[in-house]
Amino acid sequence: MVITRVPPPSDTNNNTGNNENDTEKIIIPGDYIWVEPVSGRDFDVAIGAKVITAEGRKIQVRDDDGKESWLQPERRIKAMHPSSIQGVEDMISLGDLHEAGILRNLLIRYNENLIYTYTGSILVAVNPYQILPIYTAEQIKLYKDRKIGELPPHIFSIGDNSYTHMKRFSQDQCIVISGESGAGKTESTKLILQYLAAISGKHSWIEQQILEANPILEAFGNAKTVRNDNSSRFGKYIDIHFSKSGVIEGAKIEQYLLEKSRIVSQNSDERNYHIFYCMLAGLTKEEKIKLHLKEASDYRYLIGGKCITCEGRDDTAEFADIRSAMKVLTFSDAEIWEVLKVLALLLHLGNIKTKAAVINNLDATEISEMSHVETASSVLGVNRKSLIEAITTKTIFAHGETVVSTISREQSVDVRDAFSKGIYGRLFIWIVSKINSAIYRPKAGAHTSIGVLDIFGFENFDSNSFEQFCINYANENLQQFFVQHIFKLEQEEYNLEAISWRHIEFIDNQDALDLIAIKPLNIMSLIDEESRFPKGTDTTMLAKLHKTHATNRNYLRPKSDLNASFGFNHFAGVVFYDGRGFLDKNRDTFSADLLQLIEISGNKFIQHLFREDITMGNETRKRAPTLSSQFKKSLDSLMKTLGNCAPFFVRCIKPNELKKPMIFDRELCCRQLRYSGMMETIRIRRAGYPIRHTFREFVERYRFLISGIPPPHKTDCRAATSRICQAVLGKSDYQLGKSKVFLKDAHDLFLEQERDRVLTKKILILQRNIRAWYYRRRFKKMKSSVIVLQRNVRGFLQRRRYQKMRTGYMRLQALIRSRVLAHRFKHLRGHVVGLQAVCRGYLVRRQVRRRLWAVIKIQSHVRRMIAQRIYKKFKFAQRHKLEALRLRDQEERELKKSGNKRYKEIAEKNYRERLQAIAAKGMEMEREDRLIIDRKKERIENAAKRKDEPLNDSEVVEALFDFLPDNGSEAPPPTAFRYLPNPPKHDEDNMSNSPDNMAPMDVEDLSEYKFQKFAATYFTGNANHQYSRRPLKSSLLPLVAPVDQLAAQALWITILRFMGDLPEPRYHSMERDNTSVMSKVTATLGRHFAKSKEFQELGLENMDGYNSINMKQKTRSIRHKLVSLTLKRKNKLGDDVRRRLEGDDSAADSYQSWLEARPTSNLEKLHFIIGHGILRAELRDEIYCQICKQLTNNPSKSSHARGWILLSLCVGCFAPSERFVKHLRAFIREGPPGYAPYCEDRLKRTFNNGTRNQPPSWLELQATKSKKPIILPITFMDGNTKNLQADSATTSRELCNQLADKIGLKDQFGFSLYIALFDKVSSLGSGTEHVMDAISQCEQYAKEQGAQERNAPWRLFFRKVNSTYL
């Protein structure tokens, strides 16, 4: 370790403020020292440093800025107090009580992101220029109900203590937030407001409105300056009103001195008010078009500072927040739009371009571009000429006459800018009053409040004008309030109370305030006086100021009279003000020409802004108070309000001018600390007694700390206070005055903690005794209740014992009686058993005889059959043998006659051959019989094996569609097109995509649309959503019409039979009706046509014998009409089905006949179910619900597969209602993978294109069977054919669009789709007609003509016509 001795500095008046002894100091490496500055600048103070090493009398140190240097022996140093090494939370406890110690303490904490530091109850906040995670909800809960000093310094602690003191002492509080521009005053104000809103206990709408007022005021009153990106260009005092219980009831906002000159001009690298840039970034394209707005760079008022962006601000998002906040604060949409119109008006006024001209030898102004004049005049509601005259001319009233004269271009620009500033200033006042009308709710009775003051900080720019003068005057008042509260009143009260006290010198700025606005002939009064002179100018004003105050030490006169400025020595430094424009800004006048323009304006909102100016006469307007007098009056009112409140102070410090984090400018911070009086504050807080109570209040609050202290009205309060302080505080530094006790901050904290401890202890004693009394009384009640309960329980137990004994004796009696009866029963049973044995023997013998008889009968029949079969064989053999004998004899005779000597031998040989053939034939017959028997046995065995095999869906499908011929997996085209070439199976060029493939997949979440939920909500009666085979007593859904109820029950039975869950009915008669539903339709149409006029004319002509030519033409004409009639009326639904659906009187009998007359085929059931869905919209949901019910938890695999096939056919023909469609889609999605996507796609298509008019055609059934698209050949008039894919829901429009896309047809006007049957052509149009309906009609007609449906010769054409074909 290296030790060196350094002599103390010889100068005792160093910046540390302490004298050194004559002894030398021992410095070792690792020590911390103060190093005095070499330069003699005003704001250079000692800097802390750590000793690294020492060589002789030289030492090497590393200072707080991280710089290493060697110190010579003559360099003045001083040892650092241990409290200054790591830093302290409360600077009153600093051992090094000088500026360097304060500065280093702030620097250490700032580098650790500890931006808050206490000076007693005063909070010092250093702007971090970054977002710190110390303002969360957990932090709010942490600082609630905590005194200053219990937790680390935080702005929430100031807010909580002001709130606690308000409730505790019922006194208004105020929080004065001061500091230079850019020090963080606005953000501190927002944090205070958020904390008060959070802890008030009731998160009401008024709290939200108060918080939402801040974004609006910031948008219209804050702007980017060279020192602050969110500088408040106005002052505001927010007075928050609380009820007695501490709940926020309302608030009121006062605004001070808006900087209106910023509207028309800005300094370099500055912006206009935020609202303009937010509006241009956040408005929609349509809104910008309505307001004729473009980008921010296009407007002169927004580019004066050559800066239109602000780092860290999102103008678009903030505009949305501003609009939202305005709605919260009861701004209507119309009012918001009017505000936007006024802002747009200002931008257009700023872009009005003028040029100088000379008219009649007088300076004049001309408008060089009219576009912005037109827009501005339309917003103002005046004509263009009036606006131009108001800007370019001046009206003078002299001797009762009115003279209109031209003005120069410079004057015209000033008039335009004054107009803009006047409009914006009044708009800002209206916005503040609108906010107050929403949040200010005065109520009768006493209430307390907390005021938060956020006012412009001290400003000193390169060019300072009238606004900076007023702003700095306000800061002088706040500094005086701080000085008066901390120093003057403090020391005066100590003197009045005769406290032992050492007077502390401090910087008092009262002389500066006297010079500005208090003493006679002060600066503001001179400015006002010169403003009222018509010929007063800025030069004459400066001359008066120089003459009157040149000798005042706070007034600085420029060295040259040509310099139109003056200087002033403020508490924060010397500021020079440019006197040019002082009088105009102070007058704040609005020309009569502009007021006249407002009066004739058609914009009611702008007239409302100027209502006070319009109603004010000219003379009254001339006597109106100047801006400085108005500001002084409002500032005096503010200071009076602050004087009536208990203040809390927040001193904001700006660490650097670069607005960057983690940069600490020592000179800048030292200047702010010195001018804010922080050094004197620490000294007076350390030596003084900031906490004081009257003796009566002290005794009333702390008499519980020691025993024997009666209430204050029964004792000597001073003596009691002395006893309490001696017992609790001991010999610590406190003093008793004449009427008050004076305490340190630590004393107040200790007393409150002791009070909480003692009260908690006494409350525990009180609780203990109250609980003892409570539980004792409760025990007595319980004891008496237990006695009553015991009495009743004992009685109950005895009664129950008696009941048990009685029951036991009754059971004993029953047992004895049962044994007697059992004995009798056994005796009787023996006789009965004997009788039964005889009877059963008889019955068995009779049954045996009958079975024997039956066996004998069967045997006889079997033997008879065997005998008959043998007999037949013998008979067959005998007959053939006899026949062979006959033939042998015949051959012998014939051979004998022919003279053949071997006739017998030859005949015998042939005879034997015939016998062998007969025997072989008999054996062949026996083999065939055995083969038939073996086949029957094999079928029975195969059926038994298939019983346990798993279900094959393809087999179920084949069984259901057994009425279709098996023509392979794909449906062939009608035979009428067999001459056309078959398209290749993968010909993508000649086949367009089907509508199903083009439809996007639906990803809608349908998880909450469960069929079970729908059934529980809408099903009637006790019906549930699960599979059932029982007949329905009523419909599942509520149906109004009785015929619908009957139809629902018939549909249920038909669906069960289709799915195989219910057997077919037995025949009631021997005659079976094998006529299909389609045949009945044909018969019905035939009867209708036989009665028609055309058919009768055809019969008469045949009887009269017309010539063949006429007959042929007539027949062709009638055939045309027949096809037309058939195509229009053809329907696959049977007449009985349609009659039922149309509500015929015989509906019940008809449905009964349908269900019980005979078994029906799958096709008939399908037509019955789908027909009801097509013709009865009321039954569609019922049909789907019945099918879904049968598919839910269906135990039968075959039934489940049939149900999904039925559902896939139904969704292709008709869609459910809007109420059920999502539930059906959700049900389908949960179905088997083979059917779910297919059914959902068909449902979506049907729902979009509408319900079909016909049941499925043969082509559709084939496509459903194979789950493949339908191939439709479309023929053009040149003979070419295109094959398109279609589905059940395909419309003529879709096919026309596909064809147009395929052949590149851009104009489809006049093109339609046609269908031809035989020699008849019918138009399908290009609309919503279903193509498959027309094909179904053609198939039906072809079947009536004797052809098969699959061979119906229909053809589809695509052509353009200009006339209607019949």
Q: How many CA atoms are closer than 13 Å to the CA of 1113, on its beta-carbon side?
A: 4
Is-catalytic flag, 360?
A: no
Residue of 182, 579, 737, 1134 marked catalytic = 182
- DSSP H/E element including 343: helix 333-350
SS3 295: coil
Nearest CA among 642, 676, 362, 667 for reference residue 507: 676
> Does the annotation mark 231 as catalytic?
yes
- Collapsed DSSP state (helix, strand, coil) of residue 1099: helix
Give the residue from 181, 166, 183, 82 showing the smallest Cα distance to 124. Answer: 183
DSSP sequence for 1195-1208: --HHHHHHHHHHHH
How many Å separate Cα 490 from the centre of its chain?
56
Is 1076 annotated in the active site? no
Gap between the Cα atoms of 126 and 110, Å rounded: 7
Gap between the Cα atoms of 957 and 952, Å rounded: 9
SS3 (DSSP) at 1159: coil
C-alpha triplet 926, 928, 930: angle, nearest 5°? 70
Task: Please state, in angstroms and rounded to a whole number, the distance separating the CA atoms of residues 801 and 813.
Answer: 18
Neighbouring C-beta atoms of residue 804, cutoff 10 Å: 10
- Report the distance separating Cα 708 and Cα 703, nearest Å: 8
Catalytic residue selected from 36, 99, 270, 459:
459
State which amino acid sits at residue 915. Answer: L
User: What is the full DSSP assignment across 857-871?
Assistant: HHHHHHHHHHHHHHH
What distance in Å separates the CA atoms of residue 1123 and residue 1128, rounded to the nearest whole number? Answer: 8
As beta bridge partners, residue 1270 has 1286
Which residues touch 831 (CB under 8 Å, ≥6 apart)? Answer: none
Residue carrying structure tokens 């045997």: 859
459 noted as active-site residue: yes
For residues 880 and 918, the answer to whether their CB atoms sit within 8 Å is yes
Active-site residue, from 117, 228, 472, 1288: 228
Residue from 101, 250, 282, 457 carrying the catalytic annotation: 457
Closest CA to 720 of 750, 745, 742, 697: 697
The active-site residue, picked from 4, 127, 186, 601, is 186
- Catalytic (active site) residue 200: no
The answer to whether the CB of 682 falls within 8 A of the CB of 102 is yes
Q: Which two tokens stand for residue 939?
A: 């079928």
Catalytic: which of 16, 157, 232, 1082? Answer: 232
Ramachandran angles phi, psi of 1325, nearest 5°: 70, -165
Per the structure block, which two tokens stand in for 511? 């002389």
Q: Which position has the token pair 């779910």?
A: 1236
Which residues in 1269-1294 are b (16+ Cβ under 10 Å) and which e? bbbbbbbeeeeeebbbbbbbbbbbbb
Query: Which residue of the set 121, 162, 231, 354 is catalytic?
Result: 231
- How many separate helices (H) and strands (E) can be counted in the chain? 47, 32
Residue with tokens 């001083």: 78
Q: Which runs of E-coded beta strand occur in 107-166?
A: 116-119, 122-126
- The packing angle between helices 1180-1191 and 1011-1018, to 10°, is 120
Determine whether 1110 is an active site residue. no
- Between CA 116 and CA 109 the distance in angstroms is 8
Copy the structure tokens of residue 820: 């007697």
User: How far is the C-alpha of 635 from the C-alpha of 644, rounded, in Å?
Assistant: 14
Angle between helices 1108-1129 and 1093-1104 (to 10 degrees): 160
- Enter the tokens of residue 791: 């009495």
Q: Are strands 1281-1286 and 991-992 parallel, antiparallel or unpaired?
A: parallel
Amino acid present at 406: T
Helix (H, G, I), strand (E, B) or coil at 993: coil
Side-chain-facing half-sphere of 142: CA atoms under 13 Å: 13
In the chain, how long is the greatest CA-to-CA distance?
189
| Among 14, 84, 127, 181, the one annotated catalytic | 181
457 has catalytic annotation: yes
- Which amino acids are annotated catalytic? 181-182, 186, 228, 231-232, 457, 459
